[in-house]
Amino acid sequence: MPTIRQRRVADRIRSELSDLFLRDAKDPRLALVTVTDVTIDRELAYAEVYVNALGAEERRPEVMAALDHAKGYLRSEIGARVRLRRTPELRFYWDPSLERGERIGRLLDSLGGGEEGGDV
């Protein structure tokens, strides 16, 4: 279970990365990238950043390549914006939960048989 400090640092990193992607990202491959979650280890040395993008699975390779390319810049920006003794190393992972949720929603809709306003 994460400590309060871990959660605060992870939330701050998530917020700052979201802001960077929204306002400062020069790489068009990073357009519409969403940070879905950030987890950080106990020593605050590594931050696991989970991302997804509009356009979903077909954009995965280009988004992950862009993040790998921008990793140093993003880490230095986080270091400037979040005051820590040592800026955590960023590790990016694709978060498939949005696609999974959408697929489950489609399956549930198909099982409903197209009934409108039915009771659950």
In this predicted model, what pLDDT tens digit does every residue of 76-100 receive, in sequence order? 999 999 988 899 999 999 988 766 6
What's 24's DSSP letter? I
Q: What number is the average pLDDT over the span 95-112?
A: 75
- State yes or no: pLDDT of 12 exceeds 80: yes
Which ranges in 20-96 belong to alpha helices (H)?
Answer: 60-81
- State yes or no: pLDDT of 67 exceeds 80: yes
Residue 60 dihedral angles phi and psi, to the nearest 5°:
-50, -50
Contact assessment for residue 47 and residue 13, using Cβ atoms and an 8 Å cutoff: yes
Give me the domains of the chain, ranges plus CATH numbers: 4-111 (3.30.300.20)
Q: What number is the average pLDDT over the span 60-67?
A: 93
The reported pTM is: 0.80
The confidence score (pLDDT) of residue 117 equals 53
CA dihedral in degrees (74, 76, 78, 81; nearest 10)?
Answer: -130
The confidence score (pLDDT) of residue 101 equals 67
- Residue 82 CA from chain centroid, whole number: 18
